[in-house]
Structure 1
Amino acid sequence: MPTYHYRCKNCGYDFTEHQSFDDAPVTVCPQCHEEQVRKVYSAVPIEFKGHGFYRTDGAKSK
């Protein structure tokens, strides 16, 4: 199940929720109970494994 990071624009409370893809996004802050919650987006780490990602992994030159 994916984990989503949320932040309340009213009180600044940061929290995470484990939600299914089918679940509706959280809109009410669990701390101040205002409807000021927004998802926080961040960069996703990418890990390159295996062959073919470096210049030296390509075909041999003749």
Structure 2
Amino acid sequence: MPIYEYRCESCDERFEEYLSSSEKPSPPCPACGSEKVERLMSRISTEWLPSDVNWHRTGSSWD
């Protein structure tokens, strides 16, 4: 299930919810109970390594 990030328009609280993609309604704010929440675009984490670099993991360091 994806994690969605929300911001409450009433109290400015930010929170996350695990929701299936079939669940459409936004959850109420856990801080104030308001239903006026907006879904935010969350940042994603990526890792990029050049394809021509030979990285080998040994122990706890990269050689």
Whether TM-score is above 0.5 comes out as: yes
Q: TM-score range by the shorter chain?
A: 0.5 to 0.7
Q: Distance in 2 between matches of 1:34 and 1:42?
A: 21
SS at match of 1:42: coil
Kindly provide the amino acid, as one letter, of the partner of residue 18 in structure 1: Y
Which structure shows the bigger proportion of residues in helix conformation?
A: 1
TM-score (norm 1): 0.61
- Where structure 2 has 5 or more consecutive residues not aligned to the other structure, the ranges are 53-63
Matched, 1:25 2:5: no
- Where structure 1 has 5 or more consecutive residues not aligned to the other structure, the ranges are 52-56, 58-62
Query: 2:10: which partner in 1?
Result: 10
Q: Which shifted more, 41-50 or 20-29?
A: 41-50
Which structure shows the bigger proportion of residues in strand conformation?
A: 2
Q: Deviations over 1:13-43 (max 9, x none)?
A: 1110111110123242121112211101134
Query: 2:60: which partner in 1?
Result: none
TM-score (norm 2): 0.60
Larger Rg: 1
Count of matched residue pairs: 52
Identity %: 37
